[in-house]
Structure 1
Amino acid sequence: MTSPQPHPPVTPQRLLDRLDDIGRRLARTPGALALLGLGSVGTDRHRLDEHSDLDFFVVVEDGAEPRFLEQLDWLEGAAPLAFSFANTADGRKALFEDGVYAEYAVFTVAALRSAAYPPARVVWRRPDAPEGLEVPARPLPRDGGDVAHQVSEALTNLLVGLHRDLRGERLAATRLVQVHAVDRVLRLAELAAEERGERGARQDAFAAERGVERAYPSLPLAAMVPGYDRNGPAARAVLDHVARHHREHVDPALRRAVEGLVAAVEEREAADAARATRSS
């Protein structure tokens, strides 16, 4: 059995070149109108590094969507594919043989105009294609709710999550305590940044967790996300952080309820650790 051959490292320039190659292939493919780069290969190229992938939209003539979703000659013409699958009705994920990874969607002009997406970069456009495709017609959805709303969401996530932990539903608890409640903490950090006039801090409009280590380095993320068997300390870290920064929005009765559950979960975790030590 032969071992897989290593491929050259993915570099920012190779990613940009690949996208340009895809644009050239589309230019020779009937039905294609434009290629739009998104994210780090779009308008945020300052973020492009060796861990980036290709995110793009292919804009096509009316009725041409199936041809570009089902026949991948225009994509394989840029470089051989190792894997591809349809992950949505209008999009695919693909891995090239040389390690470049791509996620893309295919839209008609009308469908693109009805979609919400961040500002894009025109990589290629057919001369008769409409101008301004890179500018979204619809605003991106925002995570609704003011500071008081986010605080209450975070603490009720803790409340329900800790009850599930005590019931033995550890995974469900971990998601509520270390994912959903932490998402509310990230939104609170965004709201604070917006109040300071620091708009546009979010790296990815659809994923609040992207780039938070750089955007909010003071967040105690390691304490709030310590792992599957540490929901007690995780909940305590989230509660302490929220209470310290947003005390005026923390309901005292809700805080007491969460504190009592944290103590119960930490007691159970300590007992589990003691049993594991005795049995080892």
Structure 2
Amino acid sequence: MKKAAYEQYSEQLRQKLTADPRVLGLVALGSMAQQDYQPDEWSDHDFFVITIHGVQEDMRQDLSWLPRAEEIIFHFKETEHGMKVLYADGHLLEFAILNEDELQVARLNRYRVLLDKVELTSNLAELMLSTEDFVAQSRRSPNHCFAELLMNILVGVGRHARGEYLSGRQFIKTYALSHLLKFLREHDSAENVQLLDNLDLLRRFELVFPGLGAEVNEILEKESLTAAEELLAMAVREFRPFLVEFPEAAVVQVQQAIVRAKQAEGEDL
């Protein structure tokens, strides 16, 4: 969706909800919030609709309150409060419909209030602070992250070696990777660190850390055992300066497991 059409849709949505007596507020999220970055042609509309009590499910079932509702070709209820909606032109909406009480269970980082009939500002500010506290409490020490990464690689290599390729790939390229990215986001300095999304490890990582992002993407293109080997080497390089006691023996064991799995795979060819 082009920028002008994107802005037009946002305004049409705001106007329709302004006239809807069930609606108390509209909060733009992500690119729609236009805080640290602007929407582009790939951006969806991501938002919260805050309502009076008792109308949320009706609004999820009957989407006539959305602009161009007649052009909707697909929609489904993704979570208790959330919906995804697809238009005939390929444009995607991701939104949640919540009353004021339900809003308190949501997570919120970047946002912009487009409609506020009941002074939601203070509630939203508190919600963003509680989200930041939640993220801070979920942080783990470098030692813990490295330990998790090591064991994820070891398990992944074992799964791959016994022919469980999907599970092995998941442990190596998803679980182990997540601990590396979490660590890099928290310990590597960057000029544009505000572009990162504290609720999604992967979002805009390459924009903030272009060198590291390119290295990780190159590793992920490789088959699982080589990816495990190179991901481990990268992790050792990045983590070592931050670990009080480096688990050398454990690293060697994981490296040897990779070698054994590669040898076994070669013998099967």
> What is the CA–CA distance in structure 1 between the aligned matches of 2:2 and 2:200, rounded to whole Å?
24
- 1:181 paired with 2:181, answer no
Aligned length: 259
Counterpart for residue 7 of structure 1: none
Paired residues for 1:52-91 under 5 Å: 52-77=43-68, 80-91=71-82
TM superposition shift of 1:200: 4.7
**CA contact under 8 A between 2:193 and 2:208: conserved in structure 1?**
no
Q: AA paired with 1:75?
A: L
Residue among 122, 128, 131 paired with 1:139: 131
Q: AA paired with 1:132?
A: S
**CA contact under 8 A between 2:191 and 2:208: conserved in structure 1?**
no
TM superposition shift of 1:224: 2.7
Counterpart for residue 267 of structure 1: 263
> What is the CA–CA distance in structure 2 between the aligned matches of 1:198 and 1:214, rounded to whole Å?
10
* Cα deviations by residue, 1:166-206 (Å, 9 ceiling, x for unpaired): 1111110101101111111111111213xx48685453332
> What is the CA–CA distance in structure 2 between the aligned matches of 1:257 and 1:154, rounded to whole Å?
14
Q: Structure 2: any 5+ residue segments left out of the alignment?
A: none
Counterpart for residue 240 of structure 1: 233
Residue among 20, 31, 48 paired with 1:29: 20
* Cα deviations by residue, 1:189-233 (Å, 9 ceiling, x for unpaired): 11213xx48685453332201111111122211343125xx1111
Q: AA paired with 2:249?
A: A
Q: Which 4+ runs in 1 deviate beyond 6 A?
A: none
TM superposition shift of 1:21: 0.8
**CA contact under 8 A between 1:55 and 1:104: conserved in structure 2?**
yes
Greater alpha carbon shift after TM alignment, 113-122 vs 136-145: 136-145
- 1:252 paired with 2:242, answer no
TM superposition shift of 1:13: 2.8
> What is the CA–CA distance in structure 1 between the aligned matches of 2:230 and 2:194, rounded to whole Å?
24
Q: AA paired with 1:17?
A: Q
> What is the CA–CA distance in structure 2 between the aligned matches of 1:67 and 1:173, rounded to whole Å?
43
> What is the CA–CA distance in structure 1 between the aligned matches of 2:3 and 2:197, rounded to whole Å?
18
**CA contact under 8 A between 1:36 and 1:121: conserved in structure 2?**
yes
> What is the CA–CA distance in structure 2 between the aligned matches of 1:225 and 1:20, rounded to whole Å?
40
> What is the CA–CA distance in structure 1 between the aligned matches of 2:259 and 2:85, rounded to whole Å?
47
> What is the CA–CA distance in structure 2 between the aligned matches of 1:199 and 1:146, rounded to whole Å?
23
TM superposition shift of 1:160: 0.9
Q: Percent identity?
A: 24
> What is the CA–CA distance in structure 2 between the aligned matches of 1:172 and 1:18, rounded to whole Å?
42
- 1:39 paired with 2:30, answer yes
Structure 1 residue matching 2:65: 3-state secondary structure: helix
Q: Structure 1: any 5+ residue segments left out of the alignment?
A: 1-9, 276-280
**CA contact under 8 A between 1:94 and 1:102: conserved in structure 2?**
yes
Counterpart for residue 94 of structure 2: 103
Q: TM-score, normalised by structure 2?
A: 0.88
From the two aligned structures, give the one with the greater helix fraction: 2
TM superposition shift of 1:150: 0.9
Residue among 83, 99, 106 paired with 1:92: 83
**CA contact under 8 A between 1:115 and 1:136: conserved in structure 2?**
no
TM superposition shift of 1:258: 0.6
Quickly say closer, same or farther: Cα 1:224–1:136, change in 2 above 3 A: farther
> What is the CA–CA distance in structure 2 between the aligned matches of 1:235 and 1:107, rounded to whole Å?
43
Q: TM-score, normalised by structure 1?
A: 0.84
